Amino acid sequence: MKIKAIALNTFKEAIRDRILYLLLFFAAVCIIFSRILALLTVGDRVKIIKDVGLTSLSLFGALMAILMGVGLVYKEIDKKTLYTLLVKPIHRYQFLLGKYFGLVLTLFIMLSLMSLIFLAVIFFHTFRVEWQILLAILYIFLELCLITSVALLFSCFSTPILSSLFSLSFYLIGHVSWGLETLIKKLRPGTGKTLAQLLYHFVPDLENFNFKMEIVHKLPIPPKIFLFSTLYGIFYTLFVLTLAVLIFRKRDFI
C-alpha cells in the first residue's frame, strides 16, 4: 500500500515534468518524419517507417528513463523532502520501490502514446494493423524498466549529471557488449580471455531486448528467447534494485 501510494505520487509528479513532453514531441516528429523519409527510398517504404519508429521509441524512451530517473532520489535529497518522508513509518526500500514503479508507470504511458502515433503512421501507410510490432515495443518497455532501475541506482549516491552519464554509458555499453563475444574468439587462452569472458557475462546485454530487426524483416523468432529475455530483464532489474536498496539503506543524510 505504501509503495503504491509513493508510486502514484511519483507518477503524478513525473507526468507534470515538461521534459517528458518535449521528448514526446521530438519522438512524434521523428516518427511522422519517417513517413516523408520513406518517400526517398526505392523499394519497401514501410521498412524505413518501422526502423525509424522503433528506434525513436527506444532512444526517446531511454532518454526519458535516464533524465527522469537520475533526479528521482536526488531531488528529494536536494529539496530535503526526503527527511519528512523517512521519519514516517516507511522503510527505505518501500520509498525506493515506490519511486521506481511510479516512473515505470510514467514511462508506460509515454511509450503507449508514442506507440499509438507509430502504429497510426504505419496504418495510414499500409491500411493494416501490424500487431507483431507490439512485441518489439513490449521488449523496448522491458529494456526501459532496466534502464530506469540503473538510473535510480545512480541517483541514490551521485549527482544528476554524473548519474546521467553513468546511465547513458550503461545504455551504450549494453548495446555494444555483444562485440565482446567477437573479441573473446580472437583472444588467445589466458588471463585476458578469462577476464573478457567474465566481463561478457557481467556486463548488461541490452541486445536481448532488441527484436527490431526480426520484426521489421518478419523473421521467425524462437519462442524460447522471449522467455529467457524476459527472465534476464526481470532478474537484472531485481539485482540492480537490490543494489540500490542496499546503498540507500546505508546512506546517511544528515
Judged by the rule CB under 8 A, the positions of this chain that interact with other proteins are 37, 40-44, 47-48, 51-52, 55, 58-59, 171-172, 175-176, 179, 206-207, 210, 212-213, 216-217, 219
Smallest CA-to-CA distance from 63 within 142, 158, 139, 147 is with: 147
Cβ atoms within 10 Å, residue 87? 8
Residue with Cβ nearer other proteins (48 or 156):
48
Q: How far is the CB of 52 from other proteins (least distance, A)?
A: 6
Q: Is residue 205 a contact partner of residue 123, using CB atoms and an 8 Å limit?
A: no
Of 109 and 180, CB closest to other proteins: 180
For the CB of residue 213, give the shortest distance to other proteins in the complex, in Å. Answer: 5
Q: Smaller CB distance to other proteins: residue 10 or 210?
A: 210
Closer of 155 and 177 to other proteins (Cβ)? 177
Smallest separation (angstroms) from other proteins to the CB of 215 = 10
Q: Which is nearer to other proteins, 216 or 245 (CB)?
A: 216
Is residue 53 within 8 Å of residue 34, measured between CB atoms?
yes
The single-letter code of the amino acid at 198 is L
CB of residue 212 to other proteins, shortest distance in Å: 6
Give yes or no for a contact between 121 and 48, defined as CB atoms under 8 angstroms apart.
no
Q: How far apart, in whole angstroms, are the C-alpha atoms of residue 72 and residue 79? A: 11
**How far apart are CB 181 and other proteins at their closest, in Å?**
12
Strand ranges (E), 19-60: none
CB 55, min distance to other proteins, A: 5
For other proteins, the closer of residues 37 and 196 by Cβ is 37
